[in-house]
Amino acid sequence: MDLALTLLAVAVASLLVHGIASRLGALAPLLLLAVGAAASFVPAVPDVNLSPDVVLIGLLPPLLYATAISTSLIDLKAQRVAIAGLSVGLVLFTALGVAVVATALLPIDFALAFALGAIVAPPDAVAATAVARSIGLPRRVVTLLEGESLLNDATALVSLRTALAAAGLAAAHSGPSENISVGSVAIDFLRAAVGGAVIGFAAYKLIALARRRIDEPVVDTTVSFAAPFIAYLPAELLHSSGVIAVVTTGLLLGHRSPVLQDARSRLSERSNWTSIQFILENAIFLVIGLQLGDLVDDVQGSSIGLGRTLLVGLAVLVTVLVLRPLWIFPFRALRSLVSARERTILAPRSEGVILSWAGMRGVVTLAAALLLPPETPHRPSLVLIAMVVMIGSLVLQGTTLPTLSRALGVRGPDPREDALQEATVIQAAVGAGLRRLEKLPDPDEDAVERLQQQARMRVNRVWERLGRGDTESPSDAYRRLRLPMLEAERRELLRIRASGLVDHEVLEEVMTALDVEESTLVSIGDRADAVREAPLRAPERITGECEHQARLPESIAPRDAEGCEECLRAGTAWLHLRVCLTCGHVGCCDSSQGHASAHFEQSGHPVMRSLEPGEAWRWCFVDDTLV
């Protein structure tokens, strides 16, 4: 009962603190840490002690898996050199630098000092994504942080195991001890990396095979819950990297989910893992703070003492913060010198500065510190030093990153640019669907007409979010009218349910259909409201090659600055305006009367440009692409 009450208290406190942080505009991880640390010194608060097994087996695999399945494998492959440098080179560089500092400041040998360096070296996936999501960072930076923190744990844990063996200590989950040599270390790294990847790939193939035979979302989601442990446990038993195994399995399953799962299973998995990730991320930061009180008590009774331990912790924190940019910027220069490909994908220097200051530590540092065997000399002081680095990096970097990103002009994803990309992607997908529709045998004309109309509405709904006019768009009007209708329908269903005349299962099916429709409408409305007032140009990643635009100017004076020429003559209203870059004709969008598209059909003029304030994107009708 005590355990159940403790778990309930941690969960409720995590949710309350997260809600308060959201209302205050504060970073939830930092507030959770502060509340946990303060509570750890309150005598009435029960001790919440984490064991290595709880962290490494119970928390780390699902947290890594939740991040991996939502991370783009394509983006990681594009940044593979940078991620390898961060997840391997930077970890070893940091561990070595910390070892030099710790040896000078503490009465420990170099092997144990290197173990401390391995503990504090890896930035954490949970901390990185939580802070990046809170403050809003460019997706390229988030990809690098996620890729680094997903893969650097293996380097750190293998380094820790090797250092402890060299110091004559045995870590939990470390496997058999052996004589340490350069060859044995290389074999250990190879076994951890390659073995973990192979086991992760095998777990992916096994789960993929099972999913091809599963057609129930509940069963598929249950398999998803087991996936991180299916990958992690065999890898650890074979003394390979369970971290790499979980990440490999998660990345491959996430990448292949459109093929392996049906739509219902994907929605169920996404919803469930989002909830699990939310609960675990918030709870872990609170629990980390709760460890502080007992650690302080243990260190006060040690030979090193609390004051000296805290000073060494601050020195190690400064070392970690300084070594990161000292590695990142020379490595950036090296990438630019040796590879033309790397030069083309190299992030701007301002994003490099953000990356060098975004090395927050978290759950992996705590887990690695708990792996120190009980007989480790000065163990309480070493664990507290790791806590100081972890908390210090979260507080210092987490609170200053927003200011630094604003000062450097580094911003997160722009909803308007996202909407433009989404419109282009949906237009391409809908076009493929309509071409497939034309080839289907025995078409029903009424059904074909309805499908074509729905396809046009899907495309127009996204394009409508880009304008800034005062006129209500058709999608906004539909949403404004449909939501009250859904509320009335739900009230009627509740009245019917109260009468007891209809089976509960039938009512649940109808209610679920209403919920799906309402959630879709609300989601569309929220995304439309998120579109910001900012200049909008065609994003480079989806801009197509167009010979027609090359022969035309960037902009042109409109023939009629008052509005759509045809609408003005007919006395009708328009929503968004487009201008022909060949003749300056002003027409309305397809969500209005479609006069811009009609002008292309009549004149053959290929490229139009948005005439909405703050928008600079162009569209080629011939090539069907942004230019």
Lateral strand order in the sheet of 618-620: 586-588, 577-580, 607-610, 618-620, 625-626
Q: What residue type is 235 in one-letter code?
A: A
- In the prediction, which pLDDT does 281 show? 79
- In the prediction, which pLDDT does 172 show? 47
- In the prediction, which pLDDT does 131 show? 66
Count the Cβ atoms, other than its own, within 10 Å of residue 563.
16
Q: Which residues of the chain have pLDDT under 50?
A: 172-178, 532, 534
pLDDT digits (tens, 9 = 90+) for 332-364: 888 878 777 766 676 678 888 888 888 888 878
Which residue, among 299, 302, 319, 198, has the nearest Cα to 252 in the 3D structure?
Answer: 198
DSSP state, residue 615: B
Distance CA 245, CA 201 (A): 7
Distance CA 126, CA 281 (A): 7
Stated as kind and residue range, the H or E segment containing 449 is helix 445-464
pLDDT digits (tens, 9 = 90+) for 427-470: 778 888 888 888 888 878 888 888 888 887 777 777 766 665 56
Count the Cβ atoms, other than its own, within 10 Å of residue 300.
12
Would you say 187 and 233 are in contact if contact means Cβ atoms under 8 Å apart? no
- Which domains are seen in the chain, by residue range? 2-413 (1.20.1530.20), 416-529 (no CATH), 540-626 (3.30.40.10)
Q: Which residues is 536 bridged to in the sheet? A: 615
Distance CA 490, CA 554 (A): 51
What is the per-residue DSSP string for 232-246? HHHHHHTTS-HHHHH
Q: What residue type is 201 in one-letter code?
A: F
CA–CA distances in Å: residue 392 to residues 34, 314, 371:
11, 8, 21
Distance CA 305, CA 537 (A): 59
What is the per-residue DSSP string for 122-168? S--HHHHHHHHHHHT--HHHHHHHHHHHHHHHHHHHHHHHHHHHHTT
pLDDT digits (tens, 9 = 90+) for 194-228: 899 999 999 999 999 999 888 888 999 999 999 99
